[in-house]
Chains A and B, each alone.
Chain A
Amino acid sequence: MCNTCGCNVTDGNRHLLAPAAKGNPVLGGNPAKILNGLLENNDRQARLNRARLDELGVLTINLMSSPGSGKTSLLESTIRRLDGRLRLGVIEGDLETENDADRIRALGIPAHQITTGTACHLDAHLIQGGLDRLDLGQLDILFIENVGNLVCPASFDLGHHRNVTLLSVTEGDDKPAKYPVMFRAADLMLISKTDLLPHLGEFSPERAEGCLRNLASRAPALRLSARTGEGMDDWIAWLSAEHAAYRKLLPARQTLIPRVETEGRKIHALGPEITFRPLAPAG
């Protein structure tokens, strides 16, 4: 999460801070999550989002990375490569502009742009608004292109099924070591812009993957270039396999949950210990 700005309050969850929300239902339920109150509200909405997506069988992938590591280019290339074999939709998150959604719509794919203003991540309430604006029954896969940021987005469950984190070769190959919370959340790491590798001798894909493995992550690490198409087949194969696995789970009322979210559910088991002290005598 972001430690420098007001990023935890977005247009999507602002209403939870209003006085009417003060009687927070978390209060009596799971006391150990007390401090996590705001995230608990987010997590509850995330569960609703996921149930809604599962009802319609829409595999939802959260794309996260630094700004400029090629998320939108990857989506454009993916759309072209799939060529209608899977029906795609996109929710775009940016602080300002419709630019990214326009790029997706230009390829005939439904896209909804969320502009977050100053908030540097998407949350489950913002996504709920985005889901309302897409015809989910017509989709196989929904991509959520999160706000470019390696800190905050990792901490918010959106109700999606898989986290994909991009690391472009124009960045440092030690990013997974520098941003462990983000890269630990990845169900797949994509090393992007590999066509630039010949010009960037200091970036080692092996070292980047080594940093990921040091986080005890078993997530696959694929290398690709959206521009040249190199490695795109592996990405499409991963996507198709995840979609097939997801669809298989649905009849049994099961679903996919990002690995890091399943882990979070194991903690917060006990409530706080309450003790008392007397009012200090005056004087």
Chain B
Amino acid sequence: MHELSLCQNLIDQLTGLTHRNEAIAVARIEVQVGVLSGVEAQLLQSAFTLSKLGTVAETAELVTTVIAPRVVCLSCRAEAEVPPNNLCCPACDSQVTELVRGHELILARVELIRDELSKLEHTNHV
């Protein structure tokens, strides 16, 4: 399945992040999966379970957050969560809307494990 290929790339990226940040392993990652991204969160979980074996992410926990479609109405400016096959404005029925959430596939958070006490309180953004 293509989720396996995506995970293989994810593992590569996590390996790079681990080394660059002088960490020894990955503890936890959070991925946001939009309902309209074409990726299934559940299949991503199964694929990750297989892909992480023998890597820096072997004991890592993958937390997926499924992001529901959200539109902004270009007529009445209302913003609302909507079902994936009805992206019209629930407030005014307009079909002229813009999808603002729900098509994303984002690695939002990575928690790494470090072996040095001196780096315990270090937090940064890469």
Whether the pair A27, B5 counts as a contact (CB closer than 8 A) is no
Chain B binding surface SS class: mixed
Q: A35-B6, A38-B6, A277-B111 are in contact. Are A215 and B85 (CB under 8 A)?
A: yes
**What's the Cα separation between A152 and B38 when bound, in Å?**
8
User: Across the interface, which residues of B come within 8 angstroms of A151, CB to CB?
Assistant: 38
Partner of B111, one of A152, A211, A216, A275: A275
Within 8 A of B (CB), among A5-30: 5-9, 17, 22, 24, 26-27
**What's the Cα separation between A121 and B111 when bound, in Å?**
35
Whether the pair B87, A275 counts as a contact (CB closer than 8 A) is no
B-contact 0/1 string along A30-59, CB 8 Å cutoff: 011011111100000000000000000000
For the complex formed, measure the closest distance between the CB of A119 and the CB atoms of chain B, giving whole angstroms. 10
The answer to whether B57 has its CB under 8 Å from any CB of chain A is no
The answer to whether A1 has its CB under 8 Å from any CB of chain B is yes
Whether the pair B95, A155 counts as a contact (CB closer than 8 A) is no
Q: How large is the interface on A (under 10, 10 to 19, 20 to 34, 35 or more residues)?
A: 35 or more
Q: How large is the interface on B (under 10, 10 to 19, 20 to 34, 35 or more residues)?
A: 35 or more
Whether the pair B9, A24 counts as a contact (CB closer than 8 A) is yes
The answer to whether A256 has its CB under 8 Å from any CB of chain B is no
Partner of B2, one of A8, A35, A177, A276: A8
User: Across the interface, which residues of B come within 8 angstroms of A34, CB to CB?
Assistant: 9-10, 13, 107
Q: Which residue of B lies closest to A32 (CB)?
A: B106
Partner of A272, one of B114, B115, B120, B126: B126
Whether the pair B24, A279 counts as a contact (CB closer than 8 A) is yes
**What's the Cα separation between A155 and B70 when bound, in Å?**
19
- Chain A residues close to B by CB (< 8 Å): 1-9, 17, 22, 24, 26-27, 31-32, 34-39, 151-152, 154-155, 176-178, 180-181, 184, 211, 213-218, 263-264, 267-268, 271-279
Given A34-B13, A37-B10, 18 more contacts at CB 8 Å? A2-B1, A6-B1, A8-B1, A9-B5, A27-B13, A35-B6, A35-B105, A36-B6, A37-B12, A38-B5, A272-B106, A272-B107, A273-B125, A274-B21, A275-B109, A275-B110, A275-B111, A275-B112
